[in-house]
Amino acid sequence: VQLVQSGAEVKKPGSSVKVSCKASGDIFSSYAFNWVRQAPGQGLEWMGGIIPMYGRPNYGQRFQGRVTINADESTGTAYMELSSLRSEDTAVYYCARSVELGPFDYWGQGTLITVSP
Amino acid sequence: EIVLTQSPGTLSLSPGESATFSCRASESVSSNYLAWYQQKRGQAPRLLIFGASSRATGIPDRFTGRGSGTDFTLTISRLEPEDFAVYHCQQYISSPYTFGQGTKLEIK
């Protein structure tokens, strides 16, 4: 199993960013794809996730209204879009796979998003 | 949301010693849906322990998870140089699936 994420980006405050996570090596639709971020020098923070075969995402309340998570079963890719970016959103964003109500057993390599004027 | 508090913040030990990390939850973690991850600098986290005490694939038996309810521990015996990293606990039973703030294991 491999999760390969899109590359680093620099964004302006107020803009949006969309990060992709392409999965290979296993059945895509029945697993959950979670998004976790880590600000510089900080801990891990779960943002939300989706099980592609169910289609309905689950968002952390802190990100509700600003994050959109979806998945394309045809390409085995999960996406996370974060809008209204502010400097505090500067972080490494990870996708991580799990079964429903399971630990995160595979992780992408991380995508650094820098929000700067 | 379930708040996980890890202690200590930093642990300074020498290779060959044993390390014990604590993770305390603000409410009971049902069915012990508690995981531990290791994260080395510049890398993604790696799953070590799930279900509070089950080792993930390929994790040596030097890593032992224990606990239930609100109190959990991770013990690493006979520390090796590659064990020095940051360790995170996570509960995955109740959304949002929260993490502790992490404990850094450094070489003394």
Q: What is the pLDDT of residues B19-59, one digit of tens each?
A: 999 999 999 998 889 999 999 999 999 999 999 999 999 99
Contacts of B33 in chain A (CB under 8 A): 101
Identify which of B46, B47, B92 has the shortest CB distance to residue A101: B92
Instruction: Please tell me the predicted confidence (pLDDT) of residue A55.
Output: 87
Contacts of B95 in chain A (CB under 8 A): 58, 60
Instruction: Please tell me the predicted confidence (pLDDT) of residue A29.
Output: 83
| Count of Cβ atoms closer than 10 Å to residue B98 Cβ | 21
State the nearest Cα–Cα gap between B87 and chain A, in angstroms. Answer: 10
Predicted confidence (pLDDT) at residue B94 exceeds the cutoff of 90: yes
Q: What is the share, in percent, of chain B residues with pLDDT greater than 90?
A: 97
Q: What average pLDDT does the structure give for chain A?
A: 95
Ranges under pLDDT 50 in chain A? none
Q: Do B92 and A58 touch (CB under 8 A)?
A: no
Instruction: Please tell me the predicted confidence (pLDDT) of residue B95.
Output: 93
Mean pLDDT within B70-84: 98
Mean pLDDT within B87-99: 97
